[in-house]
Structure formats: C-alpha cells, structure tokens
Amino acid sequence: MAAPRSRADSACAESAGSAQPPGGGGREAAAGGLKAAEMATKRLARLLGMARSGGRSGGAAEQRFGFGFLLVLDFESTCWRDARQRRPEIIEFPAVLLNAATGRIEAEFHTFVQPQEHPVLSEFCTTLTGVTQNQVDEGVPLNICLSQFLKWLERIQKEKQFLFSSDIPSNAIPEAKLCTFVTWTDWDLGVCLHYECKRKQLRKPDIFNSWIDLKATYRAFYNRKPKGLSGALQDLGLSFVGREHSGLDDSRNTARLAWRLICDGCVLKITKSLDKSYPRKNLISRTLNTNSADKTLLESSSSLETSGDRPCKANSLAERNHNGAAGIMQLKD
C-alpha cells in the first residue's frame, strides 16, 4: 500500500496558484514606525501563545515544524558599468509570500526606493533593471520603506497566522506556522541591506538577520552549479516569466524555484545567520521518501510570475572584502 501523501506532495502534483497583486504603501518618525511595527509582531506572538520566554531557539523551532511560509526578497540597487568605487543603494524593494504547502504566492509587497548617496541613476542601471529615474524620484527613502514593509508584514502575519522562527520558543504549539526569508545568494541581506543600514545609521529589524540562500541550497541539493537564476530554472526544465533583473519578477521566479526544490524533496533550512547564537550545522537535507513523479512539475500550468538572472551590484571596498568579492561590480549569479 502506498504511503499517504502530504499536503505539499499533493500540491506538487498540481499547478501552482496565481499570484496576488502587490501591496505596499524625518528619520525620527520612521524609526518610531519601525519600533512600533516590531512591537506589534511581538504582541502577535503573545496572542498566539508563542512569545519567546528564554534564549534564542530559532534553530530548534525550525527543525520541529519546518517552514509554512517563505518570504522571498530580491533587491535591485544602484549600479554602474565602470569600475569606480561606489556603494550600492536599494532602489527596488519587493517581497513575495510563498505558501510552502501549496506553492501559491499569497501576498506581495513592492515599492521603489530613493537613493540618497547617488540620487541619479546611471543609464546602465536603468537599462539593466528597468527602474527609471521617475520611479525612484517618486519612491521613498529606505527608512520609510522599511517602516512600510514592517506594517505590511504585521498585517500579513495577522491574516496568515505565522511567525519568524526567532520569535518562537522550543515549547511552541505544533500548529505554529513558521516563516523565513529566502534570497538568491547572500548579497541582498548579508551585504546590500546590512551595509546600507550601517552607513545611513538606520536600525535594521532583527528579522532580516537570517535567511535561506537558495543558490547554495540548489547547488548542494542537486550537486551542480547553477548558471544564474535563469539557468537554475532551465536546468530543471522550467523557464522564468517576466523581465530579467526586475526585482519583483526575480522574487517571483525565486519563489517558483523554491517550490520546485520542495517538490523534489529538499528540506529548506536557514543557510546564513548574522546572529552569533544561531546554531551552525548541516543546513541542507533531502527527504527519504521523495516521489519521483513529483519531479515532473507544473511548468506551463504554473502561474507564479518569475524573472531571470541577477543584475550587477556595486559594492564598496569594505563590503567587497567582507563578502569575499574580487571586483567593484558583483554579479549575483
């Protein structure tokens, strides 16, 4: 008798759902908004009976429950063709919420961000990312963007009833839905947002301190090096949908790839944490009862909108040294 299939297994054999439309919206006011939004998240944890009551135990919670939702990010930043040393600033801030049990994108956040250090976009940047000068001029500074994002996240958390693993103690109820960030490489959260907040003396919310690097996960799980996000999809018989180097399209594309990994039996785990207390261990594993039929996945029927490879990202010298990059321009592939 065949073993009963999980909800995720059943969903893998069907088409992924349609994406929802995107949402979104003085330094002192923005800082207050960030703090208020984080406090609201903690209040939600208490309402669910899962407020943290001791040391950090995100790794334990992750192992016990797995992730019910994945919040996929793909920032676009200022960039230049020449090799002069310039620091990247976020100009497009997208996020898509993937239901890890069904493969559906259930919510989206998207806004354009005003660069402050180099407010005029290069022609190279606009051509590569599709982001125009008018879009960033009508956008918001990064501190306001972070405040808007946390308010959006608070609303979505209440609606979907999920928390981040760092907010859940080891004795949390089994029904808890966990969420974590997913990116393609460590650049978005480990370099770009991290150093921009430092330079601009902005308080970065703690939830951005850990994430899943899907490129590293893909490479370990399939035992092959992907040729960019587009190449990773193509290797699996999938094609991305949308505009390459669009932050929102790349986020949708990364979500689609994450869903394929789940369907192929990959157990997604945190691969990077800036929190020194987070457990360091083998973070990528394969389930033992992977159904080979699940590997023939929903290519044409999938309506998750995706895009392709990664744009060049310009790093400062200090950031390049920290991230181990060799040149001024860093290609996220």
Which residues are marked as active site?
76, 245
For the chain, the residue count is 333
Residue tagged 């040391």 (tokens): 55
Say how far apart CA 260 and CA 229 lie, in whole Å.
13
Phi/psi at 30 (nearest 5 deg)? -65, -40
Say how far apart CA 301 and CA 61 lie, in whole Å.
34
- Write the burial class of residue 18 (CB in 10 Å: 0-12 exposed, 13-18 middle, 19+ buried): exposed
Could you tell me which residues are beta bridge partners of residue 70?
98, 180
Dihedral (CA of 62, 68, 70, 71) sign: negative
The angle that helices 214-222 and 247-263 make with each other, rounded to 10 degrees, is 30
Nearest to 313 by CA among 300, 325, 301, 329: 329
- Tokens representing 261 are 């990994």
Hey, is 304 helix, strand or coil? Answer: coil
330 near 312, Cβ under 8 Å?
yes
Cα 18–21–27 angle (5° rounding)? Answer: 140
Say how far apart CA 42 and CA 19 lie, in whole Å.
28
Residue type, 298: L
Contacts of residue 54, defined as CB under 8 A and 6 or more positions apart, other chains included, come to 169
Cα radius of gyration (the chain): 19
